[in-house]
Amino acid sequence: MIPRRSTRLIFFGLLVVAIIFMLYMIATPDNGPRHLQPEPLSDFVKHRKSHFEYEEMMTQSPGHLRKQKEYESMLLANIQKMTVHKQLKRKMDHDPMGIIIHKEPGLLDGLGRVRDMEGQDTALRKNVVMDNQLKHKIVHIDLKGAPPKVEYLKTLFPLLSSLGATGLLIEYEDMFPYWGKLEPLSAHNAYAKGDIADILEVARKNNLEVIPLVQTIGHMEHVLKLKEFAELREVPHYPQVICPTNNKTIPLIKAMIDQMLELHPGINWLHIGSDEVYNLGECTRCQQYLLHQRFGKSDLFLHHIKKVAQYVKDTYDIQPIMWDDEFRKVPLKAIQAANFGNLVEVMVWKYNRGIMVDLRTDIWEKYSIAFNGIWIASAFKGASAPESYITDVNERLSNHKEWMEIVDMYKGTIPFRGIVLTGWQRFDHFAVLCELLPQGIPSLAVNLMYITERKADHGALAKIGNLLKCNSFLNLDLKYLEYANKCNFPGSDVYEISQKLYILKKDIDNMMRNPHVTGWVTDYNIEHSFASPQHVEQGLQDLSMLLFDFNKLISDAEKALNKVFDEYTVKEWTDFNLKPTFDKLQKLHNSCTKLLEIMIWPRKPFDSKLLKEL
């Protein structure tokens, strides 16, 4: 038997080896991205482990050996934990892809602070955030042709308030209950007057200031598409821009504003739209007016919008706000000459990357001189593609990060009034539905958190995951979406459906790119009933399961959407996003079934005269 002192030396040697290996793992530089899985033990440690096991088995009692194995297992477990710690820290040094949500404190809890503690002065960072804090954080609710149920909004508004929102910019368009001569402007499924009162009351209870939006020159499709108002179009064939020189235009706009403000008593701001005014000054009447007044198109725009803004301010003592894009091409002197700085507040919008490039220093200098009130507008959803049904949170986060750089850069010269986080459900009145409000709530939460605390690290994301009651994984990047995140916030079922659809479409695309399909199950093969059964089976072995899953998704989507939207919105969304893909799968399945029934094939060529004669 080896003396007890020698045994202690062996234990001490093992401990030293383990500690050296642990320090080596922490200090080793990263050689590229890896999965968040414990790295295997090195051959050296494995060799040392087997050597000690053999020696101890020959020299120690079974009880002593068992204790040693337990101690050794504890050391190795600690090494693995430190490996996970190191890998997670590597991930946090880049924009996050997502965050794992834990119900109980564990190894990963608190690691989000590592990034903040290393290389940053926490106190200084806090001061910078507080100095650059935006007073108003307004959430845009786009209702165009897809009104969420009032009961849903009643459950949503408390969450928005808890996430840091201070108000709502409500773009009603055809969802507002116009009456009298304006009744045709409302869709058949528009809100009732009582619904508006309920929405405003719930907003007030949750300390959310409401700013209604009325379009007054551009994006007036919901008005100009109608027979009753077609004569007011600037271009007869394009129902987007209203003619500013038509004598009936200003009375119509005033009537719309009157009804909007009658149902929104006590508000402080009214947004009067005025973005993307295409084709301005092209009708015969406007061209004659420009010639007579010696105006340019920018002068015509200013002349019209000044009438609208003056009416709002003089009649109701409410501050008008308008989008800024038309002002970008208007000279400073023209803005000053019209005294716009005391009349309107401008809302500067940019929804994608490249804010510094598109909104140059000279534009900010012009605005800081011309306007007393300047807002900024980002996008938390609905700004990537008109047919998009799911939000890429990382893309939206990049937009907000750039905006906060703008705020930091101009904090000494521009007292920004606040920020509006827009969330579009359509690109315009004629466009299809894009990213629905409920599926965009995680993006909204992440970006509200970022503009408030300037953080999107592990700790901030874990906090958001808990607020949204997510029990698995909060995904930020669609490239890494492999399974649907499960949360429990108002409308979370719609969020889950959107993810499942994205994943299913990826699986379908992968199947259709399979060489067995691209080479043997093409439209040509199907048309001529000529395909190898083996390749058909190999290429489309997942088709039946995908068809089953997609059919179930349709059923689940209808249930989820019905909790939030009316039957018309549900049908529109499913008809556009689900039905075409399902029909395509069903048609392919039927075709392949027929292909597999064929046992005898003709001689080539398929179009030979001899074959036709036979």
Catalytic residue set: 276
Q: What are phi and psi of 471, to 5 degrees?
A: -110, 5
Residue length, the chain?
614
Give 233's strand partners: 242
Q: What is the DSSP letter of 42?
A: P
DSSP run (H or E) holding 344: none
Q: Which of 273, 272, 303 is nearest to 286 (CA)?
A: 303
505 C-beta neighbours (distance < 10 Å), count = 16
Q: Three-state SS across 75-119?
A: HHHHHHHHHHHHHHHHHHCCCCCEEECCCCCCCCCCCCHHHHHCC
CA–CA gap between residue 492 and residue 486 (Å, rounded): 8
CA–CA gap between residue 242 and residue 235 (Å, rounded): 8
DSSP run (H or E) holding 195: helix 193-205
Q: Is 17 exposed, middle or buried (0-12, 13-18, 19+ CB in 10 A)?
A: middle
- Token pair for 144: 């165009």
Which amino acid is located at 250 in the chain?
Answer: I
Task: Tell me how far CA of residue 124 lies from CA of 62, 116, 131, 330, in angstroms.
Answer: 58, 12, 11, 40
Question: What would the DSSP string read from start to end of 421-474?
Answer: EEE-S-SSTTSPP-S-TGGGHHHHHHHHHHHHHS--SHHHHHHHHHHTT-SSEE
DSSP run (H or E) holding 378: strand 374-381
CA–CA gap between residue 221 and residue 233 (Å, rounded): 9
Q: Three-state SS across 132-167?
A: CCCCEEEEEEECCCCCECHHHHHHHHHHHHHCCCCE
Q: Which of 574, 581, 580 is nearest to 557 (CA)?
A: 574
Q: What number of H helices and E strands is found in the chain?
A: 25, 12
